[in-house]
Structure 1
Amino acid sequence: MVGLPGKRHWFRRAPTETFSEGNVCPIDRVMRSTELRFPRAWDSVLTAAQVGAGWALTRIFDAYGGPIDGYLRSQGAEDHELMSNEVFLRAFRRMSSFSGSEEQFRSWLFTIAHNLLVDERRRTANRPEEVQLDELAQARADKARAAETVAFEELGSDKVQAVLSTLAPQQRDVLMLRILADMTCEDVAKTLGKSVGAVKQLQRRGLESLRRELTLEPVAQHHDTSQLGAVEMTA
């Protein structure tokens, strides 16, 4: 059975960058996490990982541990590090049956992460109300603030964090999977159990909200096309 190599928490936080006007566009920085990690060596890494080669499993985790953990943190997972480990444990246990490109593998990882989040939310919803209402309200407020603080922390942009926290949950889910995981509308629809049309509508509304709040015009001078536009064009 595949296990994590010698550590309870395998996650290593990516360095935080500070965004300033004229520097890298916030959405551009999100898209950095979706670039292929093994553009020329994916087949060899996958083949080695499928037979349990430790070096290959470690390289995969090092490549995608940060994005997966960032997604779980931004969605308010109760123990994002533990859940991140569980994502990779499940993936590695089923690695021998996986067949596909690196893009497909990345989408598969984020689908596993999303399903774990859904399971946690269901458990939380069904949890007996054993605390006083004021304590429960405070706990929820603390959790909401924590989710806002860690959301897209690697962006270094408080404004982006604040805007994302105001989006409707379904809009946020769609944009996180479309931008952070670089999943197609079809893959997002399968992951969320929605129609492609519904995903595109949620994406459009979410992007409209982001455009209203984020001031990207000065940054656009340094880029031929903003990533917001790129996402919309591929819808």
Structure 2
Amino acid sequence: MPLSSSLVQAFSGHPLGLCGQHDPAKAVESVSALEQRLNILTFGAVADTRHLNADRWSALAALHDHWLFDPAQAAYKSSQEILAAMQQQRIAAPQYIARVWWQICRGIQGRFKGAWRDLLKANDDNAQTLQRYLQQSQTTFPVLSGPVISARWLDLFHRIGGIPLQGWDALTVTLPPEQIKTAQKFGITAEAVHPLVSSALDAWPTACRSLPAGSCGLADCPNRCPSRKIFPNGWENHI
């Protein structure tokens, strides 16, 4: 599915969204300071293997100036202190994420003085170069260095962080099992898709209320026209 598809456009850019719901990560756009915004996006990318919903993104954005999301401070705490802060702020994430985040903060602080922007510049603002760098730094950036999480993270940095990355459009993630049936409804047969496509596929099942076309940004919704099937090049009657 191309990035110009109606599903992706409805999810990421159409005023009507998917029956009124938009990309939940857009809540982080309210964080004006660049490094704070990148810190929140990074934590959100590693906090769960699944996509975060709007409530979780909004809760993280509201805490953007907490020391927990400042690598220059968090790197010099203990992982137990990180966990205590997460629990105190009621941040929904598995307990092991406290140590993961502590290690990531130590990594970015030690190598780039806590500045994600400097890490990007050191890798020529190139998505593929950044993925290779992370893969070679798995102990420094645990979880974040994984192929799926790193692709989602770079997609967030590009779209929500506001940092244009070369090769962003070539990023891919393997479709998780829970998205395969949804993907088939949109004519997607590939095993790997762009992370933005995966995010849209994740959002659609719960967002869709089968509203009329004038109330939803997705004009060719398969729930609205169940007798048809969407193919990559448009509509075809289901036979």
TM-score, structure 1 length as denominator? 0.28
Question: Which one has a larger percent helix, Structure 1 or Structure 2?
Answer: 1
Of Structure 1 and Structure 2, which has the larger fraction of its residues in strand? 2
TM-score (norm 2): 0.28
Q: Which has the higher contact order (CA 8 A, sep 6+)?
A: 1
